[in-house]
Amino acid sequence: MAEQARSSVLGVLLAGGRARRMGGGDKCLRPLGSGTILTHVIARARPQTDGLLLNANGDPARFAAFGLPVAADVVEGFAGPLAGVLSGMAWARAHRPDLPWIATIATDTPFFPRDLVARLLAAALRAGADLACAASGGRAHPVFGLWPVRLAEDLRRAMLEEEIRKVDLWTARHRLVEVSFAADPIDPFFNTNRPEDLAEAERLLGAAGPDDGA
């Protein structure tokens, strides 16, 4: 299944938020270990997919060092994660029509599972579901989701004509399967929303992280 995921899924790294709890700016560009948070996210995402797209607003030049295509939200006004999903779908249709799925990954979560995409895809195919999302510790993480590009127009209409912004309002219209990941020894979806979270991430890296520290 890992090989199937690598040949059919575009990874979409969501960096479109405003990082208010971090004092503004790009959370993913904050230093972590020998690189940045985004460095760690890319290292985990790249082997799981057949390409990566960075979804970010503003001047894309600030991400030039990472060598990834950058796509801004196709819905204006910081419309939340669904805007990133739609932007990823639109980019995939235009540039990677060979890939039927996108997997969205938050760029403030440096320890997300290395088998995330394969497990989401396996669960979706097994259940005959339209969508899949991750869960841990009894909580769903819809930002870590698997989305079929074929639903792009459905999502576009929901966002532009119905002004839907909440992820669960749209996913409730489709068959969704949740995939649970272990939250021990740490929750792999631990995110660096605040300065103290970044300090904790540094501590985890110093202790070799939840697996190998990368």
pLDDT at 24: 58
Q: What pLDDT shows up at residue 208?
A: 54
69 and 54 Cβ atoms separated by less than 8 Å = yes
User: What average pLDDT does range 32-39 have in this prediction?
Assistant: 95
The model's pTM is 0.92
Flag whether pLDDT at 184 surpasses 70.
yes
CB 110 within 8 A of CB 40: yes
What is the pLDDT at residue 189?
A: 97
Averaged pLDDT, 118-124: 98
